């Protein structure tokens, strides 16, 4: 009877070890898969971050151009150009030559 109890205990230990090993292997598989997914997400986020940084730089450059244009529109030279091109105004005594074509 002692042999039977020892055999049963040994068998339970093997079953328990098999279950624990299976659970550990499954956990390792899940962790590995999730790790790969996170690595892929991180790479995608880095690419998106670089694209957004380039977009920010482009918008900053555009902002500077707009500010420079705003300063230019407040100058006398700009007012003269608009008056000549759109309104056809000229200074007194200024001679205008027009092309025949």
Tokens at 50, concatenated: 């670089």
Q: What is the DSSP letter of 33?
A: H
pTM tops 0.85: no
Q: Can you give the pLDDT at residue 5?
A: 62
Q: Can you give the pLDDT at residue 6?
A: 61
Beta strand residue intervals within 1-101, DSSP E: none
Q: Can you give the pLDDT at residue 91?
A: 81
Scan for tokens 């899940």, then name that residue. Answer: 30
Half-sphere exposure of 50 (CA within 13 A, CB side): 5
State which residues of the chain have pLDDT below 50. Answer: none
């Amino acid at each position: 009877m002692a042999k039977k109890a020892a055999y049963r205990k040994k068998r339970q230990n093997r079953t328990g070890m098999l279950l624990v090993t299976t659970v550990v292997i499954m956990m390792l598989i899940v962790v590995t898969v999730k790790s790969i997914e996170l690595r892929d997400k991180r790479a995608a986020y880095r690419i998106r971050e670089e694209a957004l940084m380039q977009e920010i730089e482009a918008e900053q450059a555009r902002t500077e151009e707009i500010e420079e244009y705003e300063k230019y529109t407040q100058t006398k030279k700009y007012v003269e150009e608009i008056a000549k091109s759109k309104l056809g105004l000229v200074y007194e005594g200024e001679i205008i030559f027009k092309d025949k074509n």
